[in-house]
Amino acid sequence: MESAHVYNVDIEWLQDRKGVASSPELDNTVEVVTPPEFPKGIAGVWSPEHFFVAAVNSCLMTTFLAVAENSKLNFVSFKSQATGTLEKVEGKFMMTKVLLKPHVVLPEGESPERAQKVLTMSEKACLISNSVKSEVVMDATVTFA
């Protein structure tokens, strides 16, 4: 794997507080808006704040998938809920905390302690979590199918 990778994202304003995100590397586009908590924000559409939390949460998943595979951890399912807290700090809004709540279901005979270790390794190795100033907290659960 190369030591540097480049990801391109283009944003184009459409109208009001709405635009569209695209990438020359991807087929899909995604609408993006100012969230409704802000003046003239729009409800029901992805916002930068949603994308931020989704980036941290999806990075945990993709890192978990790689670490689990390399560790030969068998699992039945992986789901994760994430909550981002946006606060004003020293006069500026910032995402101060992202709470990750992954839930891994194991087949009988697999070790829950090993699964917790893989989750912890995944959280520590997540490149997005390692790239942001926000506190990232994980509250994982592991159960059997």
**Overall pTM surpassing 0.85 (yes/no):** yes
Question: Do 60 and 5 share a domain, yes or no?
Answer: no
Give the residue-averaged pLDDT of 76-88: 98
Give the residue-averaged pLDDT of 94-119: 98
Question: Do 37 and 54 share a domain, yes or no?
Answer: no
Token readout for 18 is: 């709405």
Q: Does the pLDDT value for residue 2 go beyond 90?
A: no
Question: Do 132 and 64 share a domain, yes or no?
Answer: yes
pLDDT at res. 76:
98
What's the CATH code of the domain at 105? 3.30.300.20
The tally of domains found in the chain comes to: 2
Question: Do 63 and 125 share a domain, yes or no?
Answer: yes
Per-residue pLDDT tens digits for 37-65: 999 999 999 999 999 999 999 999 999 99
Show which of 27, 46, 65 is a domain's final residue.
46
Give the C-alpha separation, 84 to 24, whole Å.
28
Between these two residues, 19 and 3, which has the higher pLDDT value? 19
Give the C-alpha separation, 74 to 18, whole Å.
42
Question: Do 39 and 63 share a domain, yes or no?
Answer: no
Per-residue pLDDT tens digits for 117-138: 999 999 999 999 999 999 999 9
Distance of CA 78 to the CA centre of its chain: 14
Interstrand relation of 92-106 and 141-144 (parallel, antiparallel or unpaired): parallel
Give the residue-averaged pLDDT of 81-86: 99
Question: Do 92 and 56 share a domain, yes or no?
Answer: yes
Domain encompassing residue 130: 48-144
pLDDT at res. 50:
99
Terminal alpha carbon distance of the chain? 35
Show which of 46, 62, 78 is a domain's final residue.
46
Per-residue pLDDT tens digits for 12-37: 999 999 999 999 999 999 999 999 99
Give the residue-averaged pLDDT of 106-110: 97
Question: Do 119 and 138 share a domain, yes or no?
Answer: yes
Question: Do 101 and 130 share a domain, yes or no?
Answer: yes
Question: Do 75 and 128 share a domain, yes or no?
Answer: yes
Do 61 and 138 touch, CB atoms closer than 8 A?
no
Q: Does the pLDDT value for residue 1 go beyond 90?
A: no
pLDDT at res. 6:
97
